[in-house]
Structure 1
């Protein structure tokens, strides 16, 4: 098949507007309403650049927000061009940032082979710093529930500062602007911001001590370095001739600058998004970037996709009516050729229990009328709301599947195994300290907070890893705890060379 035929094949089945968007050159935002085929258009845009415009696949960077979306894009491109033909630079913001940081870890004051801490690891470091500050009398920790909530709040605010391009040594100086940007609705919120700004430098130092980067670091330091060092920016920007981004309405300041710095020279920036679907402002996303696109890129085009292939007319009419209340929206009106469909029903209940009972009755009624259970779903906003619904479904003998599984790599047992492997790989290095903290008492070996504090103190005093410090502390003790810990340490030592 010729190049032109391949390009035309990729564009088959697209509407006129989807086709126009996919072939557009220069800066472009595809304003893609819900259900209008944005992924199909994005994939067609990648294929068109490879086949018709002859941009080598390895010089195209495409970015999404989830690994699942990246895998889907890669699969669709390979289905058109052949297995392995998709660009190698298809991935998430964090994934691309990780590749940059792996190439130049020194820009984040890290060493080659650094580890990546997930959100739970980050909270564990914050918890340790908060406890130390409380012990020094810097703040009153309150009860256990209050302390846990504050750990989470402080960790979230440090992450927000990173996503807003705030460096550790700038945190306290820009605290007021961060509060103005994200809000502080209570004294507790204000306290969390103040603690986050105060602890951010120590938090970053703790990461570097164990040669670890958190998720925010993966994009923060490459972006900061591109802003500061033009040679570094050009080295990365010149690797790509086209940049494509998914879900553009959800980018934060850090992600937006990263995209702009990489695409600034060639101007080949293609983004799909929908300002009506921007729902992540609470984690730093700004709908302003998509709404200000044509001011930032005067030569750019904005192409709306308005034909919906997913919903019926009644649903779209209701949706259009709701979003029309936003006077700042860019403006588009979704339509469908699938007919009006069934009217939307709004039913009010006096309480949660009554709502659960009513939903169970309605599902039972529809099942008797011939509607398959797999064709019905209940959506709820918070996980805790499922309890009453489950109870009523069980009472009505209605089988159900709860779609709320934890991702494989986030399961506690998987993270425990990875921590054991990391510790066995480098027990003598500080890099294994977070892994040690995770598994030293998993399963329980009698190592409580006071014992761990003794280990940490010895490690600090003698510049040892926690593993080596624990070997010294438990070397001669005859207690049951010491026996269990020594057995654990011995296994790690013996398996370390495997």
Structure 2
């Protein structure tokens, strides 16, 4: 993305006519900083940010056309509070019904996937016959409360922007005239609503999207990998360039990835090639329990250490901090030194520290030996 923006500007494209969209504010800042290091002050003229930032900034500059004068953007906690108030009039005390936070998630997901609420509930939930209509009534009141208080939640930002962009020809014409090039990073993490926005902005602007259709991890937030996988179908005159040379992993690891891609019912039609050599072939070991797994890891580390490897030459990766608890406990039991990165380590957990505090007075009164 950075190289593309730099190339366009060096070729004479006005940086003010380049729109760079990414998934997080951190990524947007990093891209702007790197572009500044490459081309200097011209980077400051590029419009760069997240989808939410771009849409909100545009709507505020065109407040009359979008009808959002004096609106306040609320966060997820405010959404939950407002949904709780909306829910109260329809749900009896102790009635088994989705909590306010669950309703906010349903509302958000249906918005981001650009689906009708009842359609979403029918497709992705198993509620009884009465619940969907009650949820729909709660959502109607939720939207009315937002409108009355002049609130916008994060999903409203994309929804209202996309709706106006595709329904109002004058807005679409005005916004399409602003940019010649639209660059999108992490395209596999975009959702149907974000695609609707891109579709409304392109032509004559050219889309340049970077993404990996085998690396989409935000499906729970509505991300649709088909925005990459089916790009050629959605933009028939597009050119797809496959980047199959991998500079991060060794071929042993990529062979596993290639096997998974081949076994998939989807046709990825790509084969990854390592630039770091063959490497060590990964080993898959199956265990009956977390404790068995932790014990195997600890014993394997001890064997490696006794063979001459240093402790700091090893790394253990887990999906979540909670998932590392058994491993961490076994490392402590086996006196294996480690550094915990991300989340709270086992010994720093509040309940463990409380237990250790209770044991200290006893040890002080009865010292060992």
**TM-score, normalization: structure 1?**
0.63
SS of equivalent residue, structure 2 residue 267 = coil
Structure 2 CA distance for aligned equivalents of residues 191 and 392 of structure 1: 50
In the alignment, what sits opposite 1:306?
244
- Equivalent position of 2:26 in the other structure: 68
Is residue 124 of structure 2 the alignment partner of residue 183 of structure 1? Answer: yes
Q: What does residue 133 of structure 1 align with?
A: 90
Distance in 2 between residues matched to 1:117 and 1:287, nearest whole Å: 28
Cα distance in structure 1, aligned partners of 2:225 and 2:100: 28
| Shift in CA distance, 203/362, structure 1 to aligned 2, threshold 3 Å | farther
Residue deviations 1:137-161 (CA, integer Å, cap 9, x gap): 8xx534xxxx6x6323211110012
Q: 2:73 maps to which residue? A: 116
Give, in angstroms, the shift of residue 310 of structure 1: 0.3
Q: Deviations over 1:294-347 (max 9, x none)?
A: 222222111111000000011000100011122323311000131111121122
More RCO (CA 8 Å, sep 6+): 1
Contact 1:110 1:208 survives alignment (8 Å): no
Unaligned runs of 5+ in 1: 1-41, 167-173, 406-498
Per the TM alignment, residue 163 of structure 1 is displaced from its structure 2 partner at its CA by: 1.3
The 3-state SS of whatever aligns with 1:63 is strand
* Structure 2 unaligned spans of 5+: 345-369
CA distance in structure 1 between the aligned counterparts of 2:78 and 2:121, rounded to whole angstroms: 25
Distance 1:56 1:126, change over 3 A: same
Q: Does 1:250 pair with 2:189?
A: yes
| Superposition map of 1:1-400 within 5 A | 42-52=1-11, 54-83=12-41, 85-105=43-63, 110-112=68-70, 114-135=71-92, 141-142=95-96, 150-165=99-114, 174-179=116-121, 182-184=123-125, 186-187=126-127, 194-264=133-203, 266-367=204-305, 369-373=308-312, 375-380=314-319, 382-397=320-335, 398-400=337-339
* Pairs aligned (count): 342
Instruction: Please tell me whether the aligned partners of residues 313 and 341 of structure 1 are also in contact (alpha carbons under 8 angstroms).
Output: yes
How many angstroms apart in 2 are the aligned matches of 1:373 and 1:196? 53
For residues 87 and 336 of structure 1, do their structure 2 counterparts lie closer, same or farther at Cα, with a shift above 3 Å needed?
A: farther
Q: Is the 8 A contact 1:226 1:261 kept in 2?
A: yes
CA–CA separation in structure 1 for the residues paired with 2:155 and 2:137: 18
CA distance in 1 between counterparts of 2:83 and 2:254 reads 45
Describe the SS at the equivalent of 1:133.
coil
